[in-house]
Amino acid sequence: MTLKEKLAAGRFVITAEVDPPRGTAIARTLAEVREVAPFVDAVNLSDAPMANLRMSPFIIARLVEEQTGVEAIPHLTARDRNTLALQAELLGASAIGVKNVLLLGGDPPERGDHPFAKPVYEVGAVELIRLAEGLNQGRNWAGGELEGKTALFLGAAANPGAKDLTLEAEKFWAKVEAGAGFFQTQPVFSLGEVEAFLKALGKDPPVPVLYGILPLVSVGMAERVSAWAKVPEALTEALRREGKEAGFAWARRTLCELKEGAAAGVHLFPLGRPGRVARIVRG
């Protein structure tokens, strides 16, 4: 079954982030995918994550699926390409057999290893989803008819820990209206955080939402993540007392609570340490 079929069937799905290679050597990325393969339904492959140069996510996605058999979710950001290039990427991705794509705005170049690069952002995340959905319907961004349409399962991002949940809900529904078929979120650290997000949405999401899980391994990491996510004080205190084992225990408990709470699934952030996936899921 594909990722789309599993979600449609109500299967609890687990995905995990794996970074594309920094150059042309793909062995490490393939090894990381194989390491997480027993525990996940698909792997995400970022598009120049944090604005750092990496191999094309569509190319490595194809290689991952060919050489490991694990389904891939490549990312595509609006940061680096105009609407012509974005459409060309999506058409090519579909032609080589890519089934899924996560559509994002993208981190600004000044955050990464090419701070001198010029950003594009001709469209934002919502418009990018609408552009991709148009290709699925057989039309281009200019309204012209395609010679063969794409068949991509379109994903979008959400942040249940956003400071302004009303605004986050507006973005969520705009992405659904544009054509998003599933969501993967930024990390959550409590079921209460998820419940607050769902309350802000006003009604049950009409598409599957995979909630992010990030194992915090130190107090310092918890403090850094607290700048953009809602890290409970109880978790920080547990890390102070017990170290990284408390972080993994918290991540395992969050996963179980989400599964018991009938979430569609979870998305794991191992941060380049694929062994963390097994430590969370096995528990």
What pLDDT is attached to residue 43?
A: 98
What single-letter DSSP state applies at residue 139? B
What's the average model confidence in pLDDT over 147-159? 97
- Residue entry with tokens 């001198």: 116
Taking the C-alpha atoms of residue 168 and residue 256, their distance in angstroms, rounded to an integer, is 25
Is pLDDT of 283 > 80?
Answer: no
| Sequence-distant (≥ 6) Cβ neighbours of residue 168 within 8 angstroms | 158, 159, 160, 162, 197, 200
Is pLDDT of 142 > 70?
Answer: yes
244-260 and 191-201 helices, crossing angle to 10°: 40
- C-alpha 28: how far from chain center: 20
Taking the C-alpha atoms of residue 101 and residue 267, their distance in angstroms, rounded to an integer, is 15
pLDDT tens digits along 266-279: 999 999 899 999 99
What pLDDT is attached to residue 282?
A: 87
- Torsion angle, CA of 29/35/38/41, rounded to 10 degrees? -30
Q: How confident is the model at residue 250 (pLDDT cuts 50, 70, 90)?
A: very high
What pLDDT is attached to residue 252?
A: 97
Token pair of 171, please? 């973005």
Domains of the chain (ranges plus CATH)?
3-281 (3.20.20.220)
